[in-house]
Structures are given as C-alpha cells and as structure tokens.
Structure 1
Amino acid sequence: MSDLHRHQVVLDLLHERPFVTVKELQEIVGVSAATVRRDIEKLHDAGMARKVHGGIAASDGFGPARRSTALPFVENRDIAVEAKKAIARTASTLVRDGSLIIIHGGSTCFHFGCEMAQRNVRVFTNSMPVAAYMSEHGTCQLTVGGGDLHREPGILYDAARGGYTFYASQFFVGALGVSREGLLEQHPLLVRFINDMCGLANEIVVLVDSRKFSMRPPTVTLPLSRISKLVTDDGLSDNDAKMLEDMGVDFMVAPTEEGRAGEGRR
C-alpha cells in the first residue's frame, strides 16, 4: 500500500470516529508502528489531522458522524493510556493523606482511582469501574454512591436524590471537551451529576488529556472560573496553554515518556 493510499485510509477512518490508535492503524494498513507514526507526522504537519498521544485525531477532535458522541468506557479506557496515567500520577500529588475525595467516572478518573487505591484516603465515587478496581486492589476507605446503574457512562446515580451529608476536600472530574466556555459534556445525566458533586467539595480538580481541548460536545457543565486546578499531559498545544492562562486557570502539565523522548530528539 502506497503512502498516499495509507494516508487516505487514515482520513477516511477519522470521518467515522474522532480518534484512531497506532495499534489499530497497524492492524488496518498492515505496516509497522514506526511507519504508522511517520504517516501521523506527515498528516499532522500537513494540517489534515492532529497528532495526539497514542494515535491520531480528526483536526477538530471529532469525525462528522461522531462530533457529539462519547466512546463507551471500555473503548475510551484504552486510548491515550500513557497520557492518562501520567495525569493520574501528577494529580495524586495534590491529595493529602487522611482526606476525603470524590472521584468522578470516565477513563482518566479511572486511572486516577487506580493511583489512589492504596493511599490513606477516603474515596467517594459513583463510578462502577473505579469502585470495582478499588474493591479488588485497594486498601483505601471506599464509599459508593447509590442509585440506578447507568451502564454508559458507568455510574450509579439517583437524579431525584438530594441532601448528601458529607463534604470533601477535592472533587476529581474529567470532561469530554474543554473550551473557553468551560468543561463540555454530551450526556445530560453527567451534567447534573457533576453539578451535584461540585457543591460538596472545597476544590474542583479537572483531569483531561490534551485531546480534549479540540473536542466540542454540546453542553457546558462548568465554567472555567469554577475550577481550582486542571491537570493535563505534555501534548497540550501552545494555543491551548495560552487559552488556560488567559482564562486564569491554574494548570499542571504531566510529563509522559513519549513527551520526554520527543524532547530528547530535538
């Protein structure tokens, strides 16, 4: 398969979904990981797509058919894993031993939950994947919120319930997208849940990988002014970093192995 043919295959895939991993492209076009990464570099340099950790994304973050659609957790968990684990490690340094924290659902928060599983903290979560991991592998104190099981996005939640009787030091939350308007989501249940949890925490800490800055789901869940801190990976573009600075957002950039390797090549 020629370079041009492979590039067209990649672009066709990005019309159907927002992101394709290096591993997926290896299987689809039948070439090595090194060749796939060179193709990604060429498409990125040409402005036809966007290079991100672990693969390639549509230039605006979404393929036309999936512009406002979140991937299922089991798929999203395995995308940009290195970046999400780096974010989780960096975010874990913000947590004081003995504190009560809230961990939201989603894949980046799942990796953060894995980091916190054996810490001396009390965790409140409505996330089934986080609760399952902590139950099997953790030693932290764990409280699981009740309610109906919503398999996508994988949370237990009773929208009619109110009057939570606890107060947390920090609420760690992800998002489907980030813009000047704030954190963006697609699922209306998540919008309501996030607002409920924000009222129970002293600090709101956002965990998002750098791909999320190019994604534009339809609903603003929180303005950036409500965020205490944002943690992302070293794939953050200069433009997105400037946007956060302009909006007065305190943010941390988590180093990844891929990012450090890139620094070494320059």
Structure 2
Amino acid sequence: MSDLSRHQVIAGLLDEKTFVSVNELVSITGVSPATVRRDIDKLSEAGLGQKVHGGIAANAGPVQRRAVNLPFIENRDIAVAQKRAIAETAAGLVRDGSSIILHAGSTCFHFGSCIAARNIRVFTNSIPLAGYLSEHGTCQLTLGGGDLHREPGILYDPARNGYDFFADQFFVGALGIGAQGLLESHPLLVRLCDDMSRQANETIVLVDSRKFQERPPTVALPLTRIHRLITDDGLRDADARMLEDNGVEFVIAETREGNGK
C-alpha cells in the first residue's frame, strides 16, 4: 500500500471514528508501527488529524461525532494529562473513612490510582481497577459480583435485584455528555451506572473535555441526577454554558495542556 493510499485510509477512518490507534492501523495497512507513526506525523502536520499518545485523533469541529467504545487498554492511554488532572482534583473531594463507588472506565481508573492508599472503602465492578487496587492499594476493596464481561471489563449480574451496601459518593465517567445527560453505548454500562447512582448520596462525574463532543446513543443518567462534574481546562465556553444552564456544578482541573476555549 502506497503512502498516499495509507493516508487516504487513515483520513477515511477519522471520518467515522474519533480515534484510531497505532495497533489498529498496523493491522489495517500491514506496515510497521514506525511507518504508521510517520504517517500520523504527516497527517497531523497537514492538519488532517491530531497526533496523540497511541494513535491519531480526529480534529475537533462543530460536527459532533459518533462515539466509539475503545478497548480499555487503548482508552487508558488517551488524554492522560487531562485524566490525571481530573483524578487528582477528584481525590480532594474524598474524605478519609468514607465509602465510595468507582465506576468502570479509564478516567475512573486514573482516579482509583490516586486514592489507592487512602483510608477508605472502595466498591467497584471494574476488573482493571480491582486488579490495580489489589496489587498497589491499601484501601478496603469490595467487588461487585456477577459474570465477567471482558469488554467493558466489568463484573455484572443483570438478574440481581438490589445491593446491600450504600456509599457516600459515586464517581463515574462517560463515553459522552450533553444536555441530555451522561451518554453511553454499552447497555451494561448504562444499567450499572443507573444502579450505582441509586446507592450513593452524591454522584460525581469525571469526564475530560473531549467527551462533550461525543454523542453515544443512550442516556445513562440525566443531568438532574448529577451533583458535581469535574473536567479539564479544555472545556469550551459553549459546554460550560450548557452545564450552567442545567444547574450542574462543575470544577475545572488545570493541566499543562489546556488548549483554551
């Protein structure tokens, strides 16, 4: 496949997806990772995409794109500076001795790494987070039961009728967010999000600013059930006004990569 053909293939993928990983492009084009990275450099220099850690992202624009669930191992390494800034800010909201629920997803994983050694009880259905806290944490850890769903990496029993625990705070991420609320595409994540929010006094959303441009098909939680939201300093003015208009309290986590509004 020629350079031009590969570039056309990558540009076509970015018309359908917000992110394409190096590994995915290697599989599609049949060239080496080094060649794919050179292609990404050229496309980024030409303004046809944005070079990011692990791959290439579509340019932000007025058209809201259809969100795609990426494997956790890939999503964890996207927008890392933003996710870590959000995680560190969120950690300041957790009181020692309290109980919290942590949802699945990469931003919640980064948050979990920040509070792993705290004197708190953590309940989660996330397998990657549970593995990290088991190996690196000292907090009390409780896992939700049920079948293993490898993607999106959770334990869940859809036939379960209620839970016998209650928490002070529920921390949750999302694939997208808009005036409708938190948006997801995986039905188990939608159901789990609704379940867990009913078990806590306060629901706190952790989303990087890219998520305001995504439009997955299903509302997991309406904005009326969100008590607070933490995002990064790439938040656009229009998205900030949307949160204000809907009465959502939000906090901006400062990063070194804030891209203005």
Is the pair's TM-score, using the shorter chain for normalization, greater than 0.5?
Answer: yes
CA distance in structure 1 between the aligned counterparts of 2:40 and 2:136, rounded to whole angstroms: 35
CA distance in structure 2 between the aligned counterparts of 1:29 and 1:119, rounded to whole angstroms: 39
CA distance in structure 1 between the aligned counterparts of 2:129 and 2:160, rounded to whole angstroms: 21
Matched to 2:168, the amino acid is S
Shift of 1:15: 2.1
Q: Structure 1 length as normaliser, TM-score?
A: 0.82
The alignment status of 1:258 with 2:257, answered yes or no, reads yes
Coordinate RMSD, CA, aligned: 2.8
Shift of 1:210: 0.8
Q: 1:27 to 1:102 in 2, by over 3 A?
A: farther
* Unmatched segments (≥5 aa) in structure 2: 26-32
How many residues align? The count is 245
Query: What do the CA deviations read for 1:47-100 (whole angstroms, capped 9, x no partner)?
Result: xx6x697563354453xxxx3531111111111111111111111111111100
Q: 1:53 to 1:203 in 2, by over 3 A?
A: farther
Indicate if the aligned counterparts of 1:53 and 1:82 stay in contact, CA closer than 8 A: no
Report 1:105-254 matches (<5 A).
105-254=104-253
The alignment status of 1:28 with 2:36, answered yes or no, reads yes
CA distance in structure 2 between the aligned counterparts of 1:187 and 1:31, rounded to whole angstroms: 32
Matched to 2:36, the amino acid is I
Indicate if the aligned counterparts of 2:22 and 2:37 stay in contact, CA closer than 8 A: no
The secondary structure found in structure 2 opposite 1:244 is helix
CA distance in structure 1 between the aligned counterparts of 2:72 and 2:241, rounded to whole angstroms: 30
Q: 1:159 to 1:5 in 2, by over 3 A?
A: closer
Matched to 1:57, the amino acid is A
Shift of 1:122: 0.5
CA distance in structure 2 between the aligned counterparts of 1:202 and 1:29, rounded to whole angstroms: 46
* Unmatched segments (≥5 aa) in structure 1: 44-48
After TM superposition, the structure 1 stretch with the greater mean CA deviation from structure 2, 121-130 or 21-30, is 21-30
CA distance in structure 1 between the aligned counterparts of 2:113 and 2:180, rounded to whole angstroms: 30
CA distance in structure 2 between the aligned counterparts of 1:205 and 1:36, rounded to whole angstroms: 37
Matched to 1:19, the amino acid is F
Q: 1:200 to 1:32 in 2, by over 3 A?
A: closer
Q: Which residue of 2 aligns with 1:17?
A: 17
Shift of 1:258: 1.6
Matched to 1:164, the amino acid is Y
CA distance in structure 1 between the aligned counterparts of 2:12 and 2:141, rounded to whole angstroms: 44
Matched to 2:38, the amino acid is G
The alignment status of 1:75 with 2:74, answered yes or no, reads yes
Indicate if the aligned counterparts of 1:61 and 1:212 stay in contact, CA closer than 8 A: no
CA distance in structure 1 between the aligned counterparts of 2:257 and 2:44, rounded to whole angstroms: 12
Shift of 1:164: 1.4
Q: Structure 2 length as normaliser, TM-score?
A: 0.84
Q: Which residue of 1 aligns with 2:58?
A: 57
Q: Which residue of 2 aligns with 1:46?
A: none
Shift of 1:162: 2.1
Q: Which runs of 4+ in 1 moved over 3 A?
A: 4-11, 20-27, 35-39, 51-56, 58-62
CA distance in structure 1 between the aligned counterparts of 2:192 and 2:40, rounded to whole angstroms: 43
Shift of 1:13: 3.5
